[in-house]
Structure 1
């Protein structure tokens, strides 16, 4: 059978697919790489899914899934009545062809391109750095709040559906570990973490995120917060600028402030962090971002903005800390590829956690690091805690190897989607001063605008009186933000913490309180 005629602007020659593995993922990765390295230029017309499937000898569904993922990440776009094209990305913003396709193999130890000289890459570690005066004033002015404790309630932010965790399976694996433990597990462990777990995490990220990393690039941490703190300790010079999203995850900002960094709150728009504002910060070589689902606004960073951010890091020899805290939760298609999957210069440090797919008390996370940074991070961590608790790592490794982890993620994603839908379906409408519900395509929370700070406080007080837990958006802004106070107001609601029946009951109480 003859292959169908394809547009002259696209040639599938060279795309080789291994039929023993996921065809749609392989095709997606092949097309994405061709966009990034310039072989598929912006404006190139792609063949219809049926034609490409026939040319490659695969099912049309595989092509459709690959195209859907590329659509979701902004690599391609549809033109009504005219087919599918590679997205046109602004050349001034996005010098795609200048981005190298090879991972950097070396790194200077001098600032601003290397590790903080105060953190001592040679491991001749000195007493803690003196906190910068302005950072200390910031901590005193607006101290870090303690996360809510006790059983989860509607609508607690940052809590997954851990009532669905397979505790019986976990208990059996844990009992099996302690019934006859391997003696090597009872000695001091590798400060970078259990080798088997690191390998399984790397395999998971390659298959689910398209992040081409190895076990040797991973350092296990006690949750995402420790990973962020390690980045702050090793990359921040006292008095140096650190860019954080504003509004954003305040605990990350506190980690950088404690390390002596001078915090710069950078605005977030509908495409993510404002890179023009970031580029204007002359003293800044470090940026902390949550691109897959901005915390707390929920914005998903566009492809153009991601590449613009990478270009900034390459141009300034800076670092990007990517916190992918709830990236597993995407409700149409596969999870988006992280910023680190686009990085070809070794400028992105990726922070991951098990807390949002298992439960926060697990305190298990990881860093995916450029190869040249792994040893310094592992040794710095060893100074604080020597190594992670051994049995939790071993049990999680077995949990992943036996397939329980992937099955659990699928279950958690379905549950979060159902709980999201319940919240959206029963949300009280026409509440004075509250904006419309947003489109929630990912994550475990949503954010609504409120017309004034006074109204936000009133709504929160009424919700607390109805035994409903809601966070105020104003708490996520840096105290010295230039944004007028009323423009910082809003409501942040987590929707995954409790089952659907509890969500409906909480919304009934909320409706009565707000409409009284």
Structure 2
């Protein structure tokens, strides 16, 4: 049955087209917008393409292309021998009749006439409230972008990366990539890169693992998130260093875990009690605790391993900057002492190469490799093949080890520049200790008020100093003033920039 045609006419007044841009596209967008906001009601007859072209001073082909696109997307319908009309909703149900009434009154069904920006502002209200509450509690601040300043934390000397060498390897791979690399890859990562990582860990960390135990990730953060997703259930307890790496805590919190802050002293994180079976997982940075910089003692390591084995719990070991040790070889990780398959080792290339690389890895107990690979495949199939293959060649050709040695020397030199120029008699602060590892140093401050003052004055002169108080879990029992301190990264900028920043700090702090 034919739907009666309302006596509605098309008004093309106000249609303005920019002749320097695609005319058909502009006309299509204009008509589509008028249909959506109700200015062109259902049943309105559109002018013949020839007439509209003449009225607008454009070619008929431009009008026809716009009409064809509207028809293809269901905004219009064609009636044989009678022209083109704005589509009417067929009345097949009470709901359809109600929507049809909206159309006939000039309102498009279910579409808001509010500006897009207003709809975006209310987006939080349409996400499940429990999920939003969790996200509000465990969100990450946007990382600092752009060129690093002194004394940004978590950033290596990526100004020293051999980009010429990397670029040549990258071009060589993509000039003639093997066809086997162009389909869907192994979600655990490219085999050659996993082989080379296993060999590197055996020689540099005394961590004896097989390539089959390694899963490539998009940086350390994805590795930690995978651990949270697969090892925890809603309400499980996670023991985490306090103060510690808050991004790890956020990953566990978003997975539904309850965070149990563990005190950190000169021997590293205190272990959960041996009989504590209520804790499902412990997250630690034993080689160089973040942010206090202490190394976990052997006694604490053995105690933690005994706890995990007895309670069938997990340990996630984050070796985020293990390459940077300034006396002797890098320390053997906790995973090298594990004999019961309870430790998951997280490694990253971001602290040796540059953070934007987004390349990390997990060394897993053998029984976890398959589920971790399956979970990763659900999220993103696999990591980008070019980066993996170029890194594999970078390691195989010896560039990686040479670069590590260069980065270690540079970090040591930049550390010494910071120590030489630091105002050791700064009021309200303890003297700066000499870090023996890592890319940052922490200075204790007497009160939270003094910490806030020093950080604000540093920011006013363009120097980044992180407040130690932000690394503590909310609700920590430690007195507020005992959480105060300054965290300074010393590897991000050259020695001259460090000296300049220290001069500005002395002036701002009136030392």
Higher RCO, Cα 8 Å, sep 6+:
1
Match of 1:311 in 2: 306
Tell me the distance in 2 between the aligned counterparts of 1:188 and 1:426: 52
Aligned-partner SS, 1:315: helix
Deviations 1:154-212 (CA, angstroms, capped at 9, x unpaired): 00000000000000000000000111111111111000000000000000000000000
Q: Is the CA contact (8 Å cut-off) linking 1:431 and 1:515 kept in structure 2? A: no
Check if 1:191 corresponds to 2:173.
no
Deviations 1:297-343 (CA, angstroms, capped at 9, x unpaired): 00110111111110111111110000000000000000000000010
Match of 2:259 in 1: 263
Check if 1:161 corresponds to 2:164.
no
Tell me the distance in 2 between the aligned counterparts of 1:280 and 1:151: 48
Check if 1:216 corresponds to 2:212.
yes
Q: 1:272 aligns with which of 268, 283, 289?
A: 268
Which residues of 2 match residues 440-455 of structure 1 at below 5 A? Answer: 440-455=435-450
Tell me the distance in 2 between the aligned counterparts of 1:331 and 1:353: 19
Q: Is the CA contact (8 Å cut-off) linking 2:138 and 2:253 kept in structure 1? A: no
Match of 1:493 in 2: 488
Which residues of 2 match residues 364-513 of structure 1 at below 5 A? Answer: 364-513=359-508
Aligned-partner SS, 1:437: coil
Match of 1:347 in 2: 342
Aligned-partner SS, 2:229: helix
**Displacement, 1:438?**
1.7
**Displacement, 1:143?**
3.6
Which residues of 2 match residues 193-208 of structure 1 at below 5 A? Answer: 193-208=189-204
Aligned-partner SS, 1:341: helix
Q: Does the C-alpha gap of structure 1 residues 138 and 490 become closer, same or farther in structure 2, counting only changes over 3 Å?
A: farther
Looking at CA atoms only, which structure, 1 or 2, has the larger radius of gyration?
Answer: 2
Q: Is the CA contact (8 Å cut-off) linking 1:472 and 1:491 kept in structure 2? A: yes
Match of 1:76 in 2: none
Tell me the distance in 2 between the aligned counterparts of 1:256 and 1:316: 19
Q: Is the CA contact (8 Å cut-off) linking 2:140 and 2:250 kept in structure 1? A: yes
Aligned-partner SS, 1:299: coil
Check if 1:234 corresponds to 2:230.
yes
Tell me the distance in 2 between the aligned counterparts of 1:430 and 1:334: 33
Tell me the distance in 2 between the aligned counterparts of 1:340 and 1:131: 39
Q: Is the CA contact (8 Å cut-off) linking 2:410 and 2:491 kept in structure 1? A: yes
How many residues align? The count is: 385
Tell me the distance in 2 between the aligned counterparts of 1:417 and 1:283: 42
Normalising by the residue count of structure 1, what TM-score does the alignment of the two structures yield?
A: 0.73
Check if 1:515 corresponds to 2:510.
yes
Moved over 4 A (4+): 130-133, 135-139, 277-282
Deviations 1:349-393 (CA, angstroms, capped at 9, x unpaired): 000000000000000000000000000000100000000000000
Tell me the distance in 1 between the aligned counterparts of 2:277 and 2:210: 34
Tell me the distance in 2 between the aligned counterparts of 1:136 and 1:306: 37
Aligned-partner SS, 2:287: coil
Normalising by the residue count of structure 2, what TM-score does the alignment of the two structures yield?
A: 0.74
**Displacement, 1:137?**
5.0
Q: 1:356 aligns with which of 339, 348, 351?
A: 351
Q: Does the C-alpha gap of structure 1 residues 463 and 318 become closer, same or farther in structure 2, counting only changes over 3 Å?
A: same
Q: Is the CA contact (8 Å cut-off) linking 2:240 and 2:284 kept in structure 1? A: yes
Tell me the distance in 1 between the aligned counterparts of 2:310 and 2:129: 27
Deviations 1:272-311 (CA, angstroms, capped at 9, x unpaired): 1112x55475421200000010000001101111111101
Match of 1:322 in 2: 317
Aligned-partner SS, 1:398: helix
Structure 1 segments unaligned to the other structure (5+ residues): 1-129
Tell me the distance in 2 between the aligned counterparts of 1:461 and 1:264: 31
